[in-house]
Amino acid sequence: MKLHTTVILVTVWLGVFALHKAEGSIASQSMRKFSCVNLSAQQVDIRSIVSYEKQKVPVEAVMFITTNGIKICVHPDQKWVRSAMKRIDQRRTNRRRR
């Protein structure tokens, strides 16, 4: 009888442990710390932008990061946004060549 009880307890314990590990691995997946929800209509000075990130969800946007660390979300179809992204890409390429 004791062996039967021990087997049941070990089985339950393993089940709880497995469930806990599965939940932990899902919860520990990295998530973006900041995502764009609202888009700014103002144009940003291209000289103050150091990098950008593209985003599709929850809205399609480009997040510009300024020299001060400020994150500004804008619509990617604007002409100045495409120009700014191209300029940042050119800066990155020039730095790699050095």
- Reported as a single tens digit per residue, the pLDDT across 17-39 is 555 554 444 444 444 567 999 99
pTM of the model: 0.63
- Whether residue 51 sits in one domain with residue 86: yes
Q: Check residue 29 and give its pLDDT.
A: 46
> Which residue type is seen at 3?
L
Q: Is residue 40 part of a domain?
A: no
- Which range of residues forms the domain containing residue 68? 46-97
The better pLDDT of the pair 11, 55 is held by 55
For residues 51 and 22, state if they share a domain: no
Rounded to 5 degrees, φ, ψ at 74 are -140, 165
Residues in the chain: 98
Percent of the chain with pLDDT over 90: 53
In the chain, how many domains are there?
2
Q: Which CATH number does the domain housing residue 91 bear?
A: 2.40.50.40
Q: Look at residue 41 and tell me if it is in a domain.
A: no
Q: Which two tokens stand for residue 20?
A: 């806990």
